[in-house]
Amino acid sequence: MYKWKPHDINNQFKTRQGEKIINLDRYVEVLKENNIPYTEEQYKEAKSYINRAIIKVSNQN
């Protein structure tokens, strides 16, 4: 098992400067494997943020 700790223990979806969550499903799997709890609200907020970032990038091209 990969030992890993999130940047902010109160918001597991907040990343360090320069880090990005690319695959949210895999990220959630890693959280579960490491017994790191998160709320449904945090998950939805992260998913919304990633979707906005994808749309922003696709509009720039």
Q: How confident is the model at residue 19 (pLDDT cuts 50, 70, 90)?
A: confident
Burial class (CB in 10 A: 0-12, 13-18, 19+), 61: exposed
CB 47 within 8 A of CB 24: yes
Q: How confident is the model at residue 50 (pLDDT cuts 50, 70, 90)?
A: confident
| pLDDT value of position 53 | 81
Q: Measured between alpha carbons, how far is 55 from 4 in angstroms, rounded to an integer? A: 29
The total number of structural domains that make up the chain? 1
Instruction: Give the domain extent around 34.
Output: 1-61
Statement: residue 43 has pLDDT above 90: yes
Q: Measured between alpha carbons, how far is 1 from 45 in angstroms, rounded to an integer? A: 27
Statement: residue 47 has pLDDT above 70: yes
Q: How confident is the model at residue 29 (pLDDT cuts 50, 70, 90)?
A: very high
